[in-house]
Amino acid sequence: MATAVRYGVIGCGMMGQEHLRNIALLPGATVTSIFEPNDEMAAASLAMVPGARRAESIAAVVTASDVDCLFIASPNFRHAEQMREIAALRDIPVLLEKPACTNLDDVASLATLARDYKAPIWVAMEYRYMPPVARLIDTIHESGELGHATMFSIREHRFPFLVKVDDWNRFNQYSGGTLVEKCCHFFDLMRVMTRSEPVRVFASASVANNHLDERYALGVPDILDNAYVIVDFASGQRAFLELCMFAEGARYQEEISVVGNRGKVECFVPGPGRFWPAHLGDAPIPKLVLSPRDPKGPRELDVPVDPTLLAAGDHNGSTFYQHQRFNAAVRGEGAVDVSLRDGLIAVVMGLAAQESASTGQAISLTEGAFNVQALLG
């Protein structure tokens, strides 16, 4: 395939526009067609890519002769239906924003779709491409400095959910719930770090602070704003997630710790630079800390991110690195790193965590309603 890659984009809200900024950084990449029902978001997006046209339907984007691949950044609850519509029209490479879907029925439906789809489908789990997280993953699997890693901990202390068009992200029905919408990233990272499959999930969560007084046309918000989640893996490894969505004053947004029999590695990732208070000076630099057991002596390593990439989005450069790799896959020069199956497993883990938080019971992923193998085939 030629070096030039022409994108059709479905959904151009806040996250879609971040992707437009990052596509613009890729040599030979252009956006030719956009489907965005909201006039304000469409106008803002077309101003960013003046050579693109606004399509009247998804079908018009998918079947256009000047579209080589698709990027989907529509609201979560639209993803599955849009993927089914696309599959009925054309097998075309797709980068699908997370989560892949929001309920178990759509997990099964998309798993069936993937078996017959003849083009790459890549789910946008970009956290693995954050430079400090990528270094941490490399340390786990390639350096040998940890030995056998058994304990994995992810802490995200961040700002509340931002406002989205029509407020769909305030409701479990439309977002999948906080532990799907937000935490599918972390469940994906757990699988990447352990190289194993989850077998059981237990969660405790609540709504403690956010959105308590908000009222919308869709009703009263019901999304969680804090949680603890424990995931057991088939390998015997365990992973822990701590989420707080009313801690935007924290120096670092994500803190990941991995412990093996020979040492420990941690990474510290700041939140979006645009939220860092100007009076505090420069935003924190991401860093890695490696702490061997013998000889003792922690080593700190700064892992700076290209300022151009920081300016293009809120995810420490990961959106660009994801697009770089997806673009290569579209051109036939790289593999799919995050398959639809990977994205669906993260959704099942999130839905199981939501169920556990609601019932107070541990949820099996090897039997019953959340049986991953039965759902995905």
For residue range 292-321, what is the model confidence (pLDDT) as tens digits?
Answer: 999 999 999 999 999 999 999 999 999 999
Model confidence at 2: pLDDT above 70: no
Closest alpha carbon to 76 in 156, 185, 171, 214: 171
| Per-chain mean pLDDT for the chain | 96
Structure tokens at 277: 């208070």
Cα(182)–Cα(165) distance, integer angstroms: 17
Taking 80 as the threshold, does the pLDDT of residue 337 lie above it? yes
User: Position of tokens 């800390």?
Assistant: 289
84 pLDDT more than 90: yes
Residue 145 has pLDDT above 90, yes or no: yes
For the chain, what percent of residues have pLDDT higher than 70?
99
Stretch 205-220: mean pLDDT, rounded?
Answer: 90
Q: What is the pLDDT of residue 165?
A: 87
Roughly what angle, to the nearest 10 degrees, separates helices 184-194 and 340-359?
110
Query: Cα–Cα distance between 253 and 269 in angstroms, integer?
Result: 6
DSSP strand E in the chain: where? 5-10, 29-35, 53-54, 69-72, 94-97, 121-124, 149-157, 198-206, 226-233, 238-244, 254-260, 263-269, 287-292, 299-302, 363-364
Q: List the domains of the chain with CATH numbers.
A: 5-126 (3.40.50.720), 128-307+340-372 (3.30.360.10)
Burial of 165 (0-12, 13-18, 19+ CB in 10 A): middle
Q: What is the predicted pLDDT for the residue at 1?
A: 43
Total count of residues recorded for the chain: 377
Query: DSSP state, 143?
Result: I
Reported as a pLDDT band with limits 50, 70 and 90, residue 219 is confident
Can you give the pLDDT at residue 152? 98
pTM of the complete model: 0.96
